[in-house]
Amino acid sequence: MTRHRPVHLYSTPEACKTASVTSRQALYWVSEGLLIPSNRAEGSGHWHAWSVSDVAFLRVLGVVSRIGTGVMLRHVAQELRNRPFPWSAITFELDEHSSLTIHVPVIVADLTEAYFDEKAAYA
């Protein structure tokens, strides 16, 4: 008998509350392809299911959206998709004289802890 590892999935309202973003923001970012929830529902009236790493991704996008531009948001989303969770800091060159470092571990520390607690519980 195969033992399937249960994974905590958040509903859209739970994910957004935990990530400190609005449902409208999250669903817009999904529609724009910035992130794809672990269990993406198609069509209106269907619920997405969000993993811990999805919620962490949402939280980072929320922070970046408050301090940056749409171009920066897309760049952050691309960087996060290309890195395994949990993430390290991400540095962006704003121009030839300045850069911005986003300390991702600080932003998602509680979610990273929850992610590893879940992995340990079902290992």
- Structural domains in the chain (count): 1
* pTM metric for this prediction: 0.76
For residues 94 and 83, give the distance between their C-alpha atoms in angstroms, rounded to a whole number. 21
45 within a domain of the structure (yes/no): yes
Give the number of residues written for the chain: 123
The answer to whether 58 and 15 are in contact (CB under 8 A) is yes
CATH code of residue 63? 1.10.1660
Coil, strand or helix at 23: helix
Tokens 């340990």 sit at which residue?
120
Mean pLDDT of 34-61: 80
4 within a domain of the structure (yes/no): no
Alpha-carbon distances of 70 from 25, 61, 77, 91, 123, rounded to whole Å: 12, 10, 10, 16, 39
Instruction: Give the amino acid at 105.
Output: P
6 within a domain of the structure (yes/no): no
Question: 118: pLDDT confidence band, cut at 50, 70 and 90?
Answer: low
Non-local (6+) Cβ contacts of 117 within 8 A are: none
Q: Report which secondary-structure segment, H or E, holds 24.
A: helix 23-31
The tens digit of pLDDT for each residue in 55-84 reads 989 998 998 888 877 778 888 888 888 888
73 is in which domain, residue-wise?
Answer: 12-121
